[in-house]
């Protein structure tokens, strides 16, 4: 499904010269990318990408694609070249070789099927941008959920502070991934500064 250009918020606040036009262009690129991949898969009688990847893996692809694509349109931002560096996008030319292991300057980008309860690996005082979407998952066949088109439902962004996160550690014997979750205070900041909403 295409991205409706009339559903962007002209009053949202975005940092580092980023605009809704940049985000719109990156979202359109993802829709085109997914459509192309799925057409190729269909030509080989294979299921669509979102229908066989683990849900978390597909969400990661959405986030990584936006991280890669936004700098194509917004020259003031660049993908962080430090391996597993934080945040995902950093201001161009601020750090040596456009690489930094950790900074509070920049934007962390995430894709999520959820309208709230967003998570990261660490609680960070940094801008967070979440691309909320709907799509099929690898679990749908078992649940008898039929095919549906990928759709961006919303984009939300705000600078979060440490108190906007709750940290979930783990016991010495647990193998669960350490996570931090956006508190209601953080989600409220992001929802108030919505960038795109497919519906009211």
Span 147-157, pLDDT tens digits: 889 999 999 99
Span 8-32, pLDDT tens digits: 999 999 999 999 999 999 999 999 9
- Distances 57 to 22, 47, 76, 156, 182 between C-alpha atoms, Å: 25, 16, 28, 21, 20
**Every domain of the chain and the residues it spans:** 5-135+148-197
Show Cβ contacts of residue 150 under 8 Å, excluding neighbours closer than 6 positions. Answer: 1, 31, 34, 50, 133, 134, 135
Backbone angles phi, psi at 124, to 5 degrees: -135, 140
Q: What is the pTM of this model?
A: 0.92
Distance CA 153, CA 114 (A): 10
Distance CA 132, CA 164 (A): 19
> What fold is seen in the domain 5-135+148-197?
ECO RV Endonuclease; Chain A (3.40.600)
- Report the alpha-carbon angle 162-165-167, nearest 5: 105
The model's confidence at residue 178, banded by pLDDT at 50, 70 and 90, is: low
């Amino acid at each position: 499904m295409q991205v409706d250009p009339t559903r962007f918020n002209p009053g949202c606040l975005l940092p580092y010269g980023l605009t809704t036009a940049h985000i719109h262009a990156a979202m359109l690129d993802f829709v085109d990318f997914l459509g192309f991949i799925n057409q190729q898969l269909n030509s080989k009688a294979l299921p669509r990408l979102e229908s066989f990847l683990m849900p978390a893996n597909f969400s990661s692809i959405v986030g990584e694609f936006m991280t890669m694509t936004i700098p194509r349109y917004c020259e003031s931002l660049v993908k962080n070249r430090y391996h597993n560096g934080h945040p995902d996008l950093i201001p161009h030319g601020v750090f040596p070789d456009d690489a930094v292991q950790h900074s509070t300057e920049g934007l962390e980008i995430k894709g999520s099927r959820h309208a709230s309860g967003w998570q990261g690996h660490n609680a960070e005082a940094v801008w967070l941008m979440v691309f909320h979407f709907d799509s099929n998952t690898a679990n749908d066949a078992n649940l008898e959920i039929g095919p549906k088109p990928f759709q961006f439902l919303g984009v939300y962004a705000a600078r979060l502070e440490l108190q906007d996160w709750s940290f979930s550690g783990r016991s010495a014997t647990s193998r669960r991934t350490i996570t931090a979750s956006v508190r209601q205070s953080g989600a409220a900041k992001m929802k108030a500064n919505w960038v795109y909403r497919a519906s009211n």
